[in-house]
Structure 1
């Protein structure tokens, strides 16, 4: 076997040198083409931003009109239409185009191919710091690399161009989009590993194929050599590593090709390997049969045990044999499984405690405005020496707060909740005599339904606060219910309807879960409180929908499971 092994070593050494040179040349050319194309795209977007800043008349007119004037608004509309058109043209390159008016209340005009709210939050949070950092760049053609956890993928490249003092046009490119373009060149996971890094050695994007090799970033970033051979510390695998840096951004593109993949195509190496393997099989057949009982079976048991542990079967334990090493391995595995089981049980218990505490905190929230208004009403009646309303108001107010402060009960009946609603309406009737009417139409069997406290009253309060605008006509609220069966379960459909102004159209998507509520809209805290408590209590089985009636007024529907 010695001549065969000598031939294999020499041919392998010679083939490695030849193949490395040819393979590295091919992949360097591919990487160079990709990096040059990326730089051309960045330069093209630079040119677009400079043209927009210098030649677009609407952008120039924006600063000449007073903020909020008709000319200013019309100019913004024209600019918005223009960048909406351009974002479609550059959709494969640009994620967001924006104008930032720093001198006029930090006004933002945004067009994006992604979620508008996320792009708006990222810019509002970071644009001032980005402009300051860009002013420190040596070249104005350079793109700044920024990070924000709100954005998918976190990292993005951003470029701003000043139009006049305080007015900037800019664009955002997500690093994840560049990664997708890179993955087109390396779409086969067996080819190698790819990554995007900052030039200072800090990784921006996770490698595209498989798990990253265990190498330092200093080893992966190759600047002055065509390629570098680096060894993975964990697997012992040798990688051919090549890097190229962008001219317009502080990023470096990296590829690492396993040498085992490079050598797959060598026919002589493969034939020699086959002959050698055949000889080894003949010589060591008996030895393999012997170690099957000593090593392979215990390892198979270990693999089966690991699979069962991964599926959640934490009672799995390994049996030991006479091999000292495998006895230690089996004992270590059994100890690990026991620790995982203990940790998982502790984690579930802690999660349940945290949910219960959160439920109690949410249930204990009090509306301070309602409290202060009620005290003012008592004061006014006392000044007028009208003591009978003072008595009624004091009793109703005491009952009201006695109810909402009872956080020691997880659930109450619907009948108790409706009594609390009636008590709240009586307080409001003292504020607005002969102007409030509340009707209840529910089946008798529904009143025994158990639900978290303050599940209905916040919707009534929200209707009075936001819907009762026209104080000259009577404001009517109707609470109706019906019981029906679906999917072998019984449900109560609870409808709360009023004849007020209804929900603003911009609020409905946020209330129905299709988008966020406006940040300044804190008056609907009680409604959000109810939604969160219902989801905690019923694990998402409750459905709450918000809409406007055709004849005017707000409609809230609660679908509750009968328990």
Structure 2
């Protein structure tokens, strides 16, 4: 027998398949090649772009570090100068005339170069001052009213080490204040190493930012310097100056890395690339933020070329599909249309064959096949169908549960009328058995109704066997309302009686246990009858026995698996002359019987 197995591809029409072949064998390879080229080009261009941005950033860091090193070197040169040492000494001794003479020396020459010349060659230096006991004793550049007294305890504790302040404004004598960052350090007596003053060199943030202004050519890009706490020390965007950015996740990532690097992130629902490197001496970070769209502009030309190639391939595919549809698919559709008539039971097929190619030969074969099929249906199938229908109606007429139930009820009332109460009681129980079998045509009942059905059944059997058979049930009363399939337990109890206990010499016991484990119901029907040997067990489990009890077991097992699936069903444990236990596993059913 030929089995037609079709997946998603098999359900496609021929025109769809032809287009799919074209797509898979031509368009996909072209697109794949374009994507590979794009991927390689993207990698090269992206890496090159990232490398250029990063190299420029590192060169800027190098320039800024040179500035900071020069300022540091300048601070060392200042506090180690003899004239500076004398100036501080004269101020301590209140020798104001000697102080004025020393200031003249400092202005005329310091290390072969005047202070004013130093400021002229280093425009990023805003001012230099030397103070003692919070009093400025010498300063050049922009003049301030008071020096940075709030940092005095920190500078004193550092004992000559450099301290860089955050961005701030000095209290200038001039009306226009400037944003500066300052290098502070204690000035020690060169002979006694005792602190005698504090030196300050302030850098103009506006001039400092000009050293890296040229590298920020990206639209919506930003570049700035932050200190170790995430505060903006310098920026082209003056609105950011002094802003606390330490709470931003990308800034936290930058601060956590003591080296240099780059990563991608999202800021305000937009994608950015973050480049950063450390200015080691003050512990600052130079950070550049570039929109990823700006970095990938060079890829747009390649992407546009790929889109054009894909569009051309699609247009060619559509034209090819149209040509194939006209010459091949349309004749096959006519054949499929006639086949559809046959599917709907119309065997009067009129199909004109105009060619001798493969499609024409298939059409002729189809016509002959339909003719033969029609003859087969008329002669064999219809006659067999009528025969089966007659047999089914005869079988239905032989057994009518409603008729039996009503008849038994009439006989019971006749027994009551004749005062034959033993017979009446037996008939009433038997009527209840038939009523449970009918169950209003429903397949699903409750465990309580199944147990009641078993009690009625055991009442009849006890009248037959007397006290030979004992029935014990171990069931939680809360399970009585649980839904189950009807007529699951009674056939198994019947098997236990007639094939387990009846052949046994002496009395026997049947034990019914029902319990719930997680989302399953476990039924166990155990008897201490004659049991089965290994060969009988094998034949029953393989469904090779045709006896009535084996059929009942198979019927129950099949009913459970058909309704709930292969994870549920019936298993048997038996030992010869010891007894048999049948286990049933069923899922918990909802109130709707699902």
TM-score range with shorter-chain normalisation?
A: 0.3 to 0.5
Q: Normalised by the size of structure 1, how large is the TM-score?
A: 0.33
Q: Normalised by the size of structure 2, how large is the TM-score?
A: 0.32
Higher gyration radius (CA): 2
